[in-house]
Structure 1
Amino acid sequence: MNYVDGTEIDVGDRVVLDGGDVGTVVMCLDSEKSVPNFNLSEWSYLQSGVMVQTDAGALVQVRKTVNSKGSVMIDKM
């Protein structure tokens, strides 16, 4: 999965989500990467996108960089 500018989203990236939440990418399901404390196999049923742990503690799956209305769903800080 890539950012709007074409660069690849990677584990450890600090991001801003569509609603303004800030967090860290903890899993990239497409490239099968995760931070050490997240077991990718437990989340493989999600199949695609990235998982972001927000600074507020939520775990959010983002499957598209831009939604059908053209809004950016995830962007790097």
Structure 2
Amino acid sequence: MKYEDGTEVLLHDRVDLGGGMTGWVVAVFDNGRYTPDYPKEHWGHLVQGALVKSSEMGLVHFPVPSVDFTLIRRG
């Protein structure tokens, strides 16, 4: 998965979700990367996009990038 600007989404990226909300990338399904707290055994059924943990929204699956999904900094 890539951000709108073409930069690849990586585990632990800090992302802006729009509306003042932020989160951390905890899984990237396109390349099979998972953090220990969100293992493939539980999330492997999702095959596209990224999983983001946000204190405001909880866990959010982004199947494709959107304008409200932008990189703040690498984790």
Band the TM-score falls in, shorter-chain normalisation: 0.7 to 0.9
Tell me which protein shows more strand as a share of its residues: 2
| Structure of greater relative contact order (alpha carbons < 8 Å, 6+ residues apart) | 2
> TM-score, normalised to structure 1's length?
0.82
Structure 1 stretch displaced more, 22-31 or 37-46: 37-46
SS at match of 2:60: strand
Is 2:68 aligned against 1:73? yes
Q: Which segments of 5 or more consecutive residues in structure 2 lack a partner in the other structure?
A: none
Please report how far the alpha carbon of residue 21 of structure 1 lies from its aligned counterpart in structure 2 after TM superposition: 1.9
- Map of 2:29 onto structure 1: 29
Relative to structure 1, is the Cα distance of residues 18 and 57 closer, same or farther in structure 2, using a 3 angstrom cutoff? Answer: closer
- Map of 1:15 onto structure 2: 15
Structure 1 stretch displaced more, 51-60 or 20-29: 51-60
Displaced runs of 4 or more, over 6 A: none
Partners of 1:64 and 1:73 within 8 A in 2: no
Letter in 2 for 1:75: T
- Map of 1:59 onto structure 2: 59
Provide the C-alpha distance between the structure 1 equivalents of 2:19 and 2:34, rounded to a whole number of angstroms. Answer: 23
Q: Which segments of 5 or more consecutive residues in structure 1 lack a partner in the other structure?
A: 67-71
Taking every aligned residue pair, what percent have the same amino acid on both sides? 33
Count of residue pairs the alignment pairs up: 72
Letter in 2 for 1:64: V
> TM-score, normalised to structure 2's length?
0.83
